[in-house]
Amino acid sequence: MRTMAVRAVIFDWGGTLTPWHPVDHESLWRSVCEPHFPPGQVAEVATAIRTAEQDLWQVTGRSHQSATLAQVFERAGVSATEEFLASYFQAWDPHTYTDPDAVPLMQGLRERGIKVGVLSNTMWPRSAHERVFLRDEVMDLIDGAVYSSEIPWAKPHHEAFRAAMAAVGVDDPAACVFVGDRPYDDVHGAKGAGMRAVLIPNDDVPAFGGAAPDAVITSLAELTDHIDAW
C-alpha cells in the first residue's frame, strides 16, 4: 500500500491554502451588521449570530455533522438579505487570500498528472469559495472541491473524505495525499480514511496525539519534494 503512486492531492482550505491568521469574529460581525441594522440593535444581533456560529461549530466538533450559514442565521433569529450576505463576504475578503505558493504547486502537481482537490469544513456555500478561488486565479487548477456545507458530514468523518475522492475521480484512498493544518480533523481524518496525510501546522490549532502525519511542512512549497519521493 505504501508504494502506491500519488494520483490526487486534496487540500484543506482555511489555514492551508489560505494562510492562517487571527480574525476577531465578534468585531467582524459587528461591522457586517452596522449598515443593515439600527444602531441600537447592532451589538445584540452581532452577538446572537456569533453565538449561533460558535454553537454550530461545537455541534460539528462533537458529532462531525456539517452546518450552514443559513442554519446560523436561523438559530440567531436573523433574516439575512442578499445585501447583508454581500457585506459579510466582503468583510472576509482581507482574510481569504490564497497562499502565493499555491499556484505553482498546483501547476506542478497537474504537470505530473496528479489531480488537485479541496475539502473544507465550512458553513459557506460553494459560491462564496468559488468567488475567492476565481479572484486568486486558482479556480482552473482545482479538479474537484467538496464543501461540508453541501454534504451531511464534516472532517474527520470518513464520508467527507470519500466525497472529496469522488470529486477528483480517484477511488483508492492509498493513492491520495491530504494536506491540512488540523491534527484531528485533517491528519487523523485522512489517515482514518486510508490516505497519506501532510500537516502544515499553525499556532492556533489544538494538538491531537492520535495519528502521526506522513510529513510535516512549514510552507506549501515544500510539498512537491514529498510527493516526488512517494
Binding interface with Mg ion (CB under 5 A):
12, 14-15, 181
Query: Minimal distance in Å, beta carbon 12 to Mg ion?
Result: 4
Query: Minimal distance in Å, beta carbon 180 to Mg ion?
Result: 6
Q: Specify the residue, 15 or 201, whose C-beta has the smaller distance to Mg ion.
A: 15
What 3-state DSSP class applies to 17?
A: coil
DSSP annotation of 148 reads: G
CB 5 within 8 A of CB 175: yes
CB 153 within 8 A of CB 159: yes
Query: Minimal distance in Å, beta carbon 16 to Mg ion?
Result: 5
CB 17 within 8 A of CB 11: yes
Q: Specify the residue, 52 or 179, whose C-beta has the smaller distance to Mg ion.
A: 179
CB 205 within 8 A of CB 38: no
Q: Specify the residue, 114 or 118, whose C-beta has the smaller distance to Mg ion.
A: 118
Phi, psi of 42 (to 5 degrees): -55, -50
Q: Specify the residue, 12 or 99, whose C-beta has the smaller distance to Mg ion.
A: 12
Query: Minimal distance in Å, beta carbon 37 to Mg ion?
Result: 31
Q: Which residue is nearest to Mg ion (CB)?
A: 15
